[in-house]
Amino acid sequence: MHSLLKLLPVALFLIPGPAHAVDRKHPTHRTTHGLPVQLRSGESTEPYHPPTSFETYGAGVSHPLSGRAAFNLQNAAVAYATSKLTASNGNAVVYTSGYSGDVVQNAYLVQTHDGVPFSNAVANVAFNKNNSVISFGSSFVTPNFITASVPTVTFAAASAAAAAQLNGTYNNSPVSVEYYVTPNGSAALVYTFEIQNIALGTWYRAFIDAHSAQFVSALSYVAHATYTAIPVSQQDPTGGFANIVDPEDYTASPLGWQNSGSGSNSTGNNAISWKGTSAGTTTQSSAPDVFAYEQNPALAPSAPQNVDAARVNAFYVANTLHDIFYQYGFTETTFNFQNSNQGRGGSQSDALSISVQDASGINDISFATPPDGTPAILRSFVWNYTTPNRDGALDNDLLIHEITHGLTNRLTGGGTARCLKTVEALALGEGWSDAMANWAAKNSSATPDFVIGKYVTNSTAGLRTYPYSTSLTTNPLLYSSLQTLTEPHGTGELWANALYQVYAGLVAAHGWSPTARTNPDGKEGNIVWMHLFVDALGLQPCSPTFLNGRDAVIQADVNRYAGANACTIWRAFASRGLGVNAANYVDDFTVPSGC
């Protein structure tokens, strides 16, 4: 548990294109490298994150400032991280963000050198309400070589290099000078900023050498998927549309859903849905704020009434999830999506933007998550598996899956949206998103098999390899399946199913609440599951692995429920090979003694 006392140097070197010498089948590769980004030169580059260590401490341990009468989250986090780490400049640990929830206080830190922060050498410390340390994650490093800390080329040269390679333009996002740890263990001084191509739907964070203007790395903010709207507890339009009256939660949305000064259309403080341009919204069908547009399935998605139905449904689902997530802890101070934060803290001006029937693709849906303070973009496409075609914005599975990417990318790593970019972390992201769609669709304590994407594919098999199931016969995926699974959606199926095992165990133990979407205060299993889902995201380290994700859920239970559900959770994870001794994609089905 004290592996961070001696930091491991990074041991790989990134060479773009065919000469890339990394063994992609090696277990560590998918935990330190992201999906390749294709460059216009024909080569590719992979975002890199140094190996992450993660420790959990149950009821908590002391920190160097424990003896002080008053607790200060920033000071305590810096002191604890400094005491644990042996980086090249151990005192240069800087607090970047943090927040206090109802049971946990989370702090996020970055390693620096000569006052310059590292892009990918970060740490996070969590404290309980007794101000004891309950978890610590770190990817801090000891570079074997570090370049000078003052740029010698201009930003103009760097942005031109990035735009040329990434087929986009600089989008006027904030520019920073940072160190980027490369796979060979050296640290390069870089300009980091965003490159976007709106027509192609691409959105990257680029890292360009500040001494040579050479391309160092890039990561994509866009998460692609293939998933499904209409009451949020319903998967798709086959169950019909409903007239939903006053669904706003005014604790989560004090301005309401429509009140953003733009009139009564599909624009609000939390989200905007549109087609073609951001001005292409849906206006109320009657005053005040009545949006009565129902899909005609006999007509093409492009029929005017169907366009309106798609925009209204996407707007409803996005706002509903905003309010649900808010109730469980995804608020202004924890990096959510809102134009105005009403003085509650956090960065604002980042309501979710939803493009329905987007012209840049087909048979897909995507979500781009930038850092807190920059709007995310959900692009929903038309699906051509049927005649007439079907609209992804009318498939709740897909919308919930995609919007959950915003939750997981913002909460992991303190609002940077950079921490779910390695292959294994991307797979976790896909798994969390499928698991949330499954949770939202539940209308009783039953735990039947769940299939995602049946509507858009017009198939009972949906979009995944197997249904999500508590039966190993129906869904045989185990931790060892990761030895052969490499694509994030396929790999993520194991994580989504493991979380479904946890859900089933908690509901069996504590029952099911029909008000879980609006009231997070109950003790029923579906409420407990949702709290653990959200709490664990803030605890886990940047670039988490499946085992880190498991440990964060178990620690979240200690924090909120004093570990009352530990055995239930362990049994669920162990049923999928994620037992106590699981490692390197080798199954283990054991649980702690006493379970």
Residue 454: what pLDDT? 95
Is 322 within 8 Å of 517 (Cβ atoms)?
Answer: no
Measured distance CA(573)–CA(547) in Å, rounded: 10
pLDDT category of residue 42 using cuts at 50, 70 and 90:
confident
CB 241 within 8 A of CB 232: no
If asked whether residues 547 and 504 sit together in one domain, one would say yes
Structural element, H or E, at residue 207: strand 202-209
- Which residue, 576, 571, 577, 575, is CA-closest to 591? 571
More confident residue, 260 or 468: 468
What Å distances lie between residue 565 and 14, 428, 499, 556, CA to CA?
Answer: 43, 22, 14, 10
CB-count burial class (<10 Å; 0-12, 13-18, 19+) for 484: exposed
pLDDT tens-place string over residues 567-580 = 999 999 999 999 99
Does residue 378 sit in the same domain as residue 303?
A: yes
Residue 582 lies in a domain: no
The 3-state DSSP class for residue 351 equals: coil
Residue 85, pLDDT score = 74
3-state secondary structure of 106: strand
Give percent of the chain with pLDDT exceeding 90.
71
Flag whether pLDDT at 28 surpasses 60. no
Closest CA to 336 of 219, 436, 415, 451: 415
**407 and 487 part of one domain:** no
Handedness of CA 507, 513, 518, 521 (dihedral sign): negative
Residue of higher predicted confidence among 248 and 457: 457
For 506-543, the pLDDT digits (tens) are 999 999 999 999 999 999 999 999 999 999 999 999 99
Backbone dihedral region for residue 329 (phi beyond 0: left; psi -120 to 50: alpha; all else: beta): left
Provide the strand spans (E) within 62-175. 93-100, 104-113, 116-128, 133-138, 145-146, 169-170
Average pLDDT over residues 41-59: 87
Whether 430 has a binding-site annotation, put simply, is yes
- Residue at 374 is within a domain: yes
**What's the average model confidence in pLDDT over 96-105?**
93
Report the pLDDT averaged over residues 148-163.
95
Tally the domains of the chain. 2
Rounded Cα distance, 538 and 541, in Å: 8
In a domain, 451, yes or no: yes
Query: Please, is 567 exposed, middle or buried when counting C-beta atoms within 10 Å of its C-beta (0-12, 13-18, 19+)?
Result: middle
What are the pLDDT digits (tens) for 62-83?
999 988 989 999 999 999 998 8
Residue 531, in any domain of the structure: yes
Instruction: Assess if residue 301 is contained within a domain.
Output: yes
Instruction: Assign residue 440 the CATH number of its domain.
Output: 1.10.390.10
- Pair (467, 519) in one structural domain: yes
Amino acid at residue number 360? S
| pLDDT averaged over every residue in the chain | 88
Which range is least confidently modeled, 112-126, 163-177, 285-299, 498-512? 285-299
178 is catalytic: no
Q: Is residue 536 within 8 Å of residue 547, measured between CB atoms?
A: no
Report whether 429 contacts 469 (CB < 8 A).
Answer: no
Pairing status of strand 116-128 against strand 104-113: antiparallel
State the CATH number of the domain containing residue 324. Answer: 3.10.170.10
Are 450 and 394 found together in one domain? no
How far is residue 351's CA from residue 255's CA, in Å, rounded to a whole number? 13
Q: What is the pLDDT of residues 315-371, one digit of tens each?
A: 999 999 999 999 999 999 999 999 999 899 999 999 999 999 999 999 999 999 999
The pLDDT, as a whole number, for residue 372 is 96
In terms of domains, do 240 and 371 share one?
yes
Q: In terms of DSSP bridges, do strands 352-355 and 271-274 run parallel, antiparallel, or are they unpaired?
A: parallel
Of 385, 411, 437, which closes a domain? Answer: 411
Each residue's pLDDT tens digit, 420-452: 999 999 999 999 999 999 999 999 999 999 999
Q: Are residues 306 and 427 in the same domain?
A: no
| Six-digit token string for 348 | 């604002």
Active-site option among 194, 248, 332, 402: 402
Same domain, 390 and 355: yes
Confidence of residue 131 (pLDDT cuts 50, 70, 90): very high
Distance from C-alpha of 133 to C-alpha of 20, rounded to nearest angstrom: 40
In a domain, 293, yes or no: yes
Give the confidence band of 259 by pLDDT, cuts at 50, 70, 90.
Answer: low
Look at residue 23 and tell me if it is in a domain: no
- pLDDT digits 0-9 by tens, 399-419: 999 999 999 999 999 999 999
Clarify whether residues 431 and 372 are in a common domain: no
What would the mean pLDDT of 240-249 be, rounded to a whole number?
77
Q: Which stretches within 139-257 are classed as H helix?
A: 155-166
pLDDT band of residue 40 (cuts 50, 70, 90) is confident
Q: Are residues 501 and 481 in the same domain?
A: yes
pLDDT band at 88 (very low <50, low <70, confident <90, very high): very low
Q: Is the pLDDT of residue 19 over 50?
A: no
Q: Is the pLDDT of residue 22 over 60?
A: no
pLDDT at 297 over 90: yes
3-state DSSP assignment of residue 586 = strand
- Average pLDDT in the 266-277 region? 92
- Residue of 518, 538, 555, 468 whose CA lies nearest to 61: 555
Hey, what's the torsion of the CAs at 319, 325, 327, 333, to 10 degrees?
Answer: -100
* 449 shares a domain with 395: no
Which is more confidently placed, 33 or 387?
387
Same-domain status, 280 and 370: yes
Higher pLDDT: 28 or 135? It is 135
pLDDT of 335? 95
Evaluate if pTM is beyond 0.85. Answer: no
Say how far apart CA 585 and CA 128 lie, in whole Å.
32
Of 358, 387, 411, the position where a domain reaches its end is 411
Q: What is the pLDDT of residue 29?
A: 56
Within-domain flag for 488: yes
224 appears as a binding residue in the annotation: yes
Residues 105 and 98: beta-carbon distance below 8 Å = yes
- Give residue 437's domain range: 423-574
Structure tokens at 538: 């803030």
Which of 390, 411, 432 lies at the terminal end of a domain, its last residue? 411
What pLDDT is stored for residue 30 in this prediction? 64
| Residue 116 pLDDT | 93
